[in-house]
Amino acid sequence: MATLDQPELRESLNKLLTDSRPRLERVLRHFEVPPEDAEDILQDAQLTLIYKWDKVRSPESWLIGTVKKKCIMYWRKRRGSLCDAVDTAILELVSVPQAPPQEKADLASDLNRVLSRLSSRCRSLLRLRYGLGYGPNEVAEQMGYRSSSIRKVTNRCLAALTRQLLAVGFHKESEHEPDPS
């Protein structure tokens, strides 16, 4: 049976939270988590520790490791949702049926400019996706990928595209994305 109802544990927890704070802050700074999101990460890790107090034999190491992992997951989720948003938005933009011809031409030109900075493989893949409206299986067939791996390759190309979109002002014009495969 757990021993979490013993009063001295409250003191231990309090000490742990105080002692671990400098290391936790370094982790949050290292991963550049904005304070408003850092609070969720910290709270979640600390609550989990309280529930598992009896099973965790090295609480400080566990807490630091858990917060690190949550920081990684935080950015992975943010990165994934940003790539999804970019992809969905571009798919919707290129499929507007009643768009005026000039607007369509401008969009194609802007998209080509961004795609031209990507690796040739990503450029081909995303042109099939956005330009010709190919689905993942068709892209896989056209480019000679297995359908089981096309999702991973597409995600890498979307990440490269997103980087390019946001990298304006940070990258030199000549910098090109490496091949994703």
Q: Could you tell me the two tokens for 105?
A: 């031409």
Stretch that binds other proteins, among 35-43, 118-126, 131-139, 143-151 (CB under 8 A): 35-43
Looking from the CA of 98 toward its CB, the CA atoms found within 13 Å total: 0
Distance CA 70, CA 167 (A): 26
Distance CA 6, CA 53 (A): 12
Cβ proximity to other proteins, 39 vs 179, nearer residue: 39
Rule CB under 8 A: is residue 173 a binding residue for other proteins?
no
CB of 75 to other proteins, least distance (A): 5
Cβ proximity to other proteins, 110 vs 179, nearer residue: 110
Q: Could you tell me the two tokens for 175?
A: 């910098």
Q: List the x/- string, 83-122, binding to other proteins by CB under 8 A.
A: -xxx-xxx-xx---------x---x--xx-xx--------
Say if residue 76 is exposed, middle or buried (CB neighbours under 10 Å; 0-12, 13-18, 19+): exposed
Stretch that binds other proteins, among 61-69, 126-134, 139-147, 148-156 (CB under 8 A): 61-69
Can you tell me which of 15, 78, 104, 151 binds other proteins, judged by CB under 8 A?
78
Rule CB under 8 A: is residue 47 a binding residue for other proteins?
yes
Residues 94 and 114: beta-carbon distance below 8 Å: no
